[in-house]
Structure 1
Amino acid sequence: MNRFTRTASLWIATAALALASLEAHAEGRIRIAEQFGVVYLMLNVAQDQKLIEKHAKAAGIDAQVEWIKLSGGSAVNDALLSGNIDIAGAGVGPLLTLWDRTRGKQNVRGVASLGNFPFYLVSTNPAVKSLADFGDKDRIALPAVGVSVQSRVLQLASARLWGDKEFNRLDRISVTLPHPDAVAALIKGGTEINAHFGNPPFQEQELAGNPKAHIVLDSYQVLGGPASATVLYATEKFRNENPKTYRAFVDALDEAAQFIAANPEKAADIYIRTSDAKIDRALLLRIIKNPEVQFKTAPQNTYALAEFMHRVGAIRNKPASVKDYFFDDVRTEAGN
């Protein structure tokens, strides 16, 4: 073996050891994307109480948790596919889009639900009492037009009203806008935005802050009851290569759900503290204690949206059940 060969062999061996070291320390690092609203309260509690770190430590690893704030399913999906995050937090619509797009490749699937929350389509136009009343001068704010769960629920409701060929009829008057900006527009007025399909607490702030604000559509009516509109999802690679970290994460979610149920007052304070939210605490508590709001990790009433998206061509592959687009887990066995 000549000097060059020995040097090359030594370099390869060193690189292999370094790679092995990196792989050995991969467990414990987790980057989580969240968006805006009380629908992310389980993540807020997990962050504040350091529950992921707690469960990771019990598994023998030191967790390095990074929290990333994004807005809209498109931004979240891009971040997941580019490898900038490990856990995506967004609506069922973005999950189904990515599940369909990555089948046989990254194999993105759902990890857990963040609970059941009614989403309201709120309008300040007195003439708008139903979807049929929206006109060309109206503008509906959404997190991501044609992608977010709000947009997909609106499309499903439109399809039932006007037929499948007209499922995206209201997309032309929809505008992509983060929830906080939409709230400001509806409460203050003076912009083209006069409707917002949001989530808690933004919808409740609009209803309380503008006497003209009223509910036009309730997502529970469209989806057939309490539904998991916001979910968490990841790539198959992350789940397989980081089993202890993944388990620590889902165990932390379960503990967070239990914490909120047992300590709604503390949970409200955590939300205000971690999200730096400017919200009336009494209003926030009413949302958390609302019987229609359920903090749970098992997905519920998601399949109607999956079937609809396939029917209108938004996704190519039709899932047979929720088990197709959620990872196998005892938490999701009873999902639908």
Structure 2
Amino acid sequence: MKHFKLAAALGTAISVFGALPSVAETVNVRLARQFGIGYMPLTLVQEQGLLEKHAKEAGVDVTTEWLRFTGGSGMNEALLSGNLDIAAGGTTPMLTIWARTQNNLTIKGVAALSSMPLHLVTTDPEIESIADFSQGDKIALPAVKTSIQAITLQMAAEKYLGEGKHADLDTYTVSMGHPDAQLTLLGGQSEINAHFGSPPFQNQEVKDGQARKILDSYDVLDGPHTFTVLWAKNDFVEKNPQVVGALMAALEESIAFIKENPEEAAQIWAGAESTNLTQEEIVALIQDPQTKWTTTPERLLPYVNFMARVGLIASDTDDWRDLFFDTVHDRDGS
């Protein structure tokens, strides 16, 4: 009888006040990024706790682990082995793993982070264009044959040296993270005499006075293109829709903050990164007219079409939405 009265009382309380609140689910999210200002939206997401904030609003408690890699290949291995949930890097490592997993794990893009020009710079006064590289020259870039710099170099070789010559410069490339490549290039004590980098490293190298730009990725692609993107496995996205939604909201808040508060964003990024850039230099990079802070993908199809045509990947598409989850399908991408 007592049990019946207790149940009745509980039922009355629920009917009056609504269902009892459920205990919030806790999800641990492992995210990774590389080095450079192109990952600033993620840096702010981390430093300002934006993923945790938006997940909490969606009824999910999130804990985060942030990892750093020097190239996309390592992140792809971590994704495949189950040691990473969200990868962030240049577009081509994402395209590589997208093509590789369409019939099994289904890895796709989640969102873009930025569109930025990538510059090939050299300290050799005799090198005026990519046609001048010869035996003994070495070009540092994040990952041979897979990084966005490596693929852009192949596209440039085909565009400026001729059809069938896309791989002619591969022999001169060396895998090296941007911070090490910058130190090696400007140190002058190595065979590395060129670096296909990204902001801010390429900017610092030219400012140093020893290096100068000989190739711009925007010229190769005939316009602006996405530089950095996020990608993940279908399994993670399907199992964690609220977390993914919170991540998208966090990115949009982060990007809006960068645009509206460049001075403060620069301070936060400088405090989180090992950089000798001045506040003024960081703000200039943030506000560079060639830079777009956006989650909307831009000019990914030229990359995927080229990679498929020359045999770097086995899949191709003419619809950029095939490359991404529906997180950005409502955008005017390309």
* TM-score, normalising length: structure 2: 0.90
Aligned to 2:314: 316
Native 8 Å contact 1:28 1:56 kept in 2: no
CA distance in 1 between counterparts of 2:45 and 2:306 reads 33
- Structure number, greater radius of gyration: 2
Q: Which secondary structure state, in structure 2, belongs to the residue aligned with residue 271 of structure 1? A: helix
Native 8 Å contact 2:25 2:59 kept in 1: no
Aligned to 1:173: 172
Native 8 Å contact 1:29 1:245 kept in 2: no
Q: Which secondary structure state, in structure 2, belongs to the residue aligned with residue 161 of structure 1? A: helix
CA distance in 2 between counterparts of 1:71 and 1:98 reads 17
CA distance in 2 between counterparts of 1:141 and 1:280 reads 25
CA distance in 2 between counterparts of 1:26 and 1:90 reads 29
**1:242 is matched by which residue type in structure 2?**
N
Moved more, 181-190 or 45-54: 181-190
RMSD (CA atoms)? 1.4
Native 8 Å contact 2:41 2:254 kept in 1: yes
Alignment of 1:147-162 (within 5 A): 147-162=146-161
Aligned to 1:142: 141
Alpha-carbon distance change, 27 to 168 in structure 1, aligned in 2, over 3 angstroms: farther
How far off its partner does 1:25 sit? 8.2
Aligned to 2:243: 245
Alignment of 1:82-97 (within 5 A): 82-97=81-96
Number of aligned residue pairs: 312
Q: Percent identity at matched positions? A: 42
CA distance in 2 between counterparts of 1:111 and 1:139 reads 34
Native 8 Å contact 2:58 2:246 kept in 1: yes
Aligned to 2:76: 77
Return structure 1 stretches of 4+ with deviation > 4 angstroms.
24-27
Native 8 Å contact 1:73 1:91 kept in 2: yes
How far off its partner does 1:330 sit? 4.2
Alpha-carbon distance change, 25 to 177 in structure 1, aligned in 2, over 3 angstroms: farther
Aligned to 1:280: 278
**2:73 is matched by which residue type in structure 1?**
S
Unaligned runs of 5+ in 2: 1-22
1:50 aligns with 2:53: no
Alignment of 1:157-236 (within 5 A): 157-209=156-208, 211-236=209-234
* TM-score, normalising length: structure 1: 0.90
Unaligned runs of 5+ in 1: 1-23
CA distance in 1 between counterparts of 2:50 and 2:65 reads 13
How far off its partner does 1:42 sit? 0.2
How far off its partner does 1:164 sit? 4.2
1:101-140 residue CA offsets vs partner (Å, 9 max, x unmatched): 0012110000011111111001111111111011112110
CA distance in 2 between counterparts of 1:271 and 1:222 reads 29
**1:110 is matched by which residue type in structure 2?**
G
How far off its partner does 1:26 sit? 7.1
